[in-house]
Structure formats: structure tokens, C-alpha cells
């Protein structure tokens, strides 16, 4: 009986080893590669092969030119020209960058998983024969498995604004003419890569900040500064609306002297109009992107900001 138990245990061990070998046989083992640190939510999908909720992903509606790379190892996976709207609730692509994505049949044989060839990160599943596009292929990918790198070849510039809850700040900037992409995160603190919970603890020094990528041939930094002041209460000194705390203060993070001068110009204009401006001017520092569920929050929720509003001030 003891020998029989030993044989059975050995059978299962060998089976597990064989299974692991099968799962990893298409993954490149690159010595010295350092993977990006993942949040628990990212690990649930990328490592443990979970799925994010439909219609919740950051890149579901992203249309601007650029490249989607692996969240775990930064390997390029998809080009924006291969992305299409399948109305399935997740980003869809009908092609991948050659050699970037590996297909692995699910254990039940019903679906085909897609993983990053470079590091084995779980991306989602691939489906054939649905006739969405001429390529008749749909890579159904979790946004949380990806990072989007905008195409900066057209002289796209970045600007950084803090005006209370970053959900509301982003809501107005992402709809502005000439803005190509927005992201929300944290700037101005003393903790590297802070979490939302850490910032809410009010001890990291960060402000909730919106990163704005804009085309200077379509709009100007000056127009963005005007929009900033016209979409929040820049006289409030303890937060924004009902959101009270140091992370909700009003600030413009300037990247050069020209941006600082433009921001100061409009503070002076507002002061001459009788406003007591509480907005701070701070040099831009490291921008730490917030968790995926914060990105384009109101777009995904289908609602509007509760503490931001538009009020025309400038001619």
C-alpha cells in the first residue's frame, strides 16, 4: 500500500511539472529582466489569470495613436491601428505585433488564452470567426494587463493640473479640443509610487493630479490654463467642494518658465477681477499614475462630476 501511495504521489508531481513545463514552454526566460511591480488587482489578472469587470477598463475607449505594452515587462504588444470597437466590454484588437503574443489553449479546451510572449503575463483570450473585421480575429484584452504609450511623433506636449478630485479635473480636460490623452495620478509628494489609500492618508504630500497630453497645433497651454480656472473653485483653500484635505488643493505644476509665466498671467488677471486666488504654482516632478479604476472614471460610470463645474470667466 505504501508503494502504491508513493507511485500515486509521484504521478501527480510529474503531472504538475509537465503541466508547468507545457504552460511555460513558449515563454522566453531572459536573464536579468526586472519585472514591474504590480498592485494586488494587477496580480489577480496578470499572474493569476483573472478578468477585470466589463466596461471598467482604462483603455476601452482609447482611440489615439500609440502602442500598447505589457504592464508587467513593457514589451510592445499591440498597435493602436489594430484596435477596434467590438462592444464586448474589453479592448479589442484584430492583430498583434509579430511574435509579441502567444496563444495557449485553456485546460478545458473551450477557449484560447493569450499571454505576453516575453514574460507570460495573462492578457485575455482570442476569438476567431466573429467577422468584426476583415482579419476575422478578436484579441479580447484586459486593460489592466496593458500600458498605453501615446505616439509623441506629432510634437504632443504634456501639462499637469490639480483641482481637487482628479475624476472631475480629468472629465473636463479629456473633452477639450486638442487634448489627445489624459491620465490621473499624483504629483508633488515625497513617497515613490504611492497608492490611492496612501495619498488619502494625507501624509505623502501628493496632490491628485491630471496629466494632459495635447497637440499644440490644435490648442495651447494658455487655453488649458483658462479651462483649469473655469472648471473649479480656485479660491477654496482647504480642498475642493466637499472634498477636504491637502491632496485636493488647487495647483498648476509647470514644466518650464514659459508655462509658469502663463499660469502667473492668469492668476494676475483673476486677482485684478477681485478673486482671491488660492492656486499654487509648483515645478512639475514625478507623475505617479493612479490605479486603473480611477482612469476616465466618469466616462466609464456614465455620470458627471459632483464638485466640478464650468463657469466662463475669460473672454
Residue among 214, 246, 224, 249 nearest 172 (CA): 224
Q: CB within 8 A of 124, min separation 6: which ones?
A: 51, 90, 113, 114, 139, 140, 141, 142, 145
140 is an active site residue: yes
Residue for grid cell 503531472? 15
Q: How far apart are CA 197 and CA 210, in angstroms?
A: 17
119 is an active site residue: no
Catalytic hit among 70, 73, 116, 140: 140
CA dihedral 82, 86, 88, 90 (to 10 degrees): 20
First to last CA, the chain: 90
> What is the DSSP secondary-structure string of 99-113?
TSEEEEE-TTSS-EE
Tell me how far the alpha carbon of residue 73 is from its chain's centroid: 15
With 0-12 CB in 10 A as exposed, 13-18 as middle and 19+ as buried, what is 196?
A: middle
Local structure of residue 246 (DSSP, 8 states): G
Catalytic hit among 116, 119, 165, 307: 165
Q: How far is CA 85 from CA 55, 68, 138, in A?
A: 12, 16, 10
The three grid cell numbers given for residue 42, joined into one nine-digit string: 494587477
Q: Which sequence positions are flagged as catalytic?
A: 140, 165
Amino acid at each position: 500500500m505504501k508503494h502504491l501511495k508513493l507511485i500515486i504521489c509521484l504521478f501527480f508531481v510529474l503531472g504538475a511539472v509537465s503541466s508547468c513545463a507545457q504552460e511555460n514552454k513558449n515563454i522566453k526566460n531572459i536573464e536579468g529582466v526586472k519585472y514591474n511591480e504590480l498592485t494586488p488587482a494587477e496580480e489577480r489578472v496578470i499572474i493569476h489569470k483573472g478578468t477585470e469587470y466589463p466596461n471598467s477598463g482604462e483603455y476601452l475607449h482609447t482611440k489615439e495613436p500609440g502602442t500598447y505594452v505589457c504592464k508587467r515587462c513593457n514589451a510592445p504588444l499591440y498597435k493602436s491601428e489594430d484596435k477596434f470597437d467590438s462592444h464586448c466590454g474589453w479592448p479589442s484588437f484584430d492583430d498583434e505585433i509579430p511574435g509579441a503574443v502567444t496563444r495557449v489553449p485553456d485546460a478545458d479546451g473551450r477557449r484560447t488564452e493569450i499571454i505576453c510572449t516575453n514574460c507570460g503575463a495573462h492578457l485575455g483570450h482570442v476569438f476567431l470567426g466573429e467577422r468584426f473585421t476583415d482579419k476575422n480575429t478578436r484579441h479580447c484584452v484586459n486593460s489592466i494587463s496593458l500600458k498605453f504609450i501615446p505616439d509623441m511623433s506629432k510634437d504632443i506636449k504634456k501639462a499637469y493640473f490639480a483641482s481637487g478630485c482628479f475624476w472631475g479635473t480629468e472629465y473636463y480636460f479629456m473633452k477639450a479640443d486638442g487634448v489627445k490623452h489624459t491620465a490621473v495620478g499624483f504629483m508633488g509628494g515625497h513617497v515613490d509610487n504611492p497608492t490611492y489609500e496612501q495619498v488619502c492618508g494625507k501624509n505623502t504630500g501628493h496632490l491628485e493630479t491630471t496629466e494632459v497630453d495635447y497637440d499644440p497645433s490644435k490648442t495651447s497651454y494658455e487655453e488649458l490654463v483658462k479651462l483649469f480656472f473655469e472648471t473649479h473653485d480656485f479660491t477654496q483653500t482647504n480642498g475642493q467642494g466637499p472634498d477636504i484635505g491637502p491632496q485636493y488643493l488647487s495647483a498648476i505644476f509647470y514644466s518650464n518658465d514659459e508655462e509658469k509665466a502663463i499660469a502667473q498671467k492668469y492668476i494676475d488677471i483673476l486677482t485684478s477681477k477681485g478673486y482671491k486666488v488660492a492656486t499654487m504654482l509648483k515645478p512639475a516632478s514625478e507623475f505617479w499614475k493612479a490605479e486603473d479604476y480611477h482612469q476616465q472614471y466618469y466616462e466609464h460610470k456614465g455620470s458627471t462630476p459632483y464638485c466640478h463645474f464650468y463657469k466662463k470667466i475669460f473672454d
